[in-house]
Amino acid sequence: MPARLLSGKTIADEIKSEVAAEADYLRAHHGFLPCLVAVRVGDDPASSVYVASKVKTAGELGLISEHRHLPADVGEAELADIVCELNRRDDVDGILVQLPLPKHIDERRILELIDPAKDVDGFHPINAGRLMQGHDTLAPCTPAGIIEILKRSGIEIAGKNVVVVGRSNIVGKPMAMLLLHENATVTICHSQTRDLSLVTRRADILVAAIGRAGFIRGDHIGEGATVIDVGMNNVSDKDFARELFADEDLEKRLAVIDKRGFTLVGDVNPREAINRAGAFTPVPGGVGLLTVAMLMKNTVKAAKIRRETPVAREINSFNKQKTTH
């Protein structure tokens, strides 16, 4: 029996509806709306699309959003000044610095300047540390979205063997932490893992986040496993596309390549996965749609934490000492 497709759109729409309702409640009962500021440097086409999508979604859900677009040759000191200014603004709840930044800017330094209480991407070391220790915090959007997919699709996590392929700070490592907090038994694999397929075939849930198109094949997947495909890769080679897709899906993909020059594929070979997995997320239409939805959820969460909890007051007090650089 073919695997069940887990619709990212359905779950993302549910989360966005919840965010809109929360924003409306905060406006009506507390007199404010959460505010997200996106900072983009340069004219990278992909970054432009991503930021436009985030700003548009925020507006659609009733959040306040700002877009700071800076030239590619902006100095690191000037960008740092802008981040610190946004840290000081009490009306700003979420700060997003779109990556990648130009090579002359130290990404790590800029990300670490962001007030952890406003770090809606969840990349700041303080938030990473809080996540590791099991505290409630702003978690990276993609891993948090995957937890939502599993829970809202009725897929049990507790007690399951989960294998995460990929060890990035953005997906792999925080994904492992979130799964551990849900009482899964977690194995992290990477490019140096020996006999990868022997490890991944034991997984009840397999999360592919290695950044290589179609890398996870049928022999990596245990019969009936849930497969979460985090990959977003552009494929322009039609022969390679034929290895990944079949029948009507192949024809659609070839047409997209003719039109755009590439088609978007994940880290999993869907042609092989569909006959081995019990459930899996398609690309596109899966995990990627959750990332923006979870960014909106984090913005509302940041707004509530900053204004309402003792932990937030403690963090805010600490951060007032860091308003200069």
CA dihedral 8, 10, 13, 14 (to 10 degrees): -110
97 token code pair: 């610095």
User: What residues pair up with 226 in beta bridges, in sequence order?
Assistant: 205, 279
Q: H-helix or E-strand containing 64?
A: strand 64-70
CB 120 within 8 A of CB 96: yes
In angstroms, the CA 138 to CA 118 distance is: 9
In angstroms, the CA 37 to CA 19 distance is: 17
Residue 85 CA neighbour count, 13 Å, CB half: 9
3-state SS assignment for residue 76? helix
Distance from the Cα of residue 9 to its chain's centroid: 14
What does 145-211 look like in DSSP terms, one character per residue?
HHHHHHHHTT---TT-EEEEE---TTTHHHHHHHHHHTT-EEEEE-TT-TTHHHHHTT-SEEEE-S-
* C-alpha closest to that of 156 among 91, 193, 205, 195: 205
Active site residues: 54, 98, 121
AA letter at 61: L
AA letter at 314: E
Q: Which residues contact 237 (CB under 8 A, 6 or more apart)?
A: none
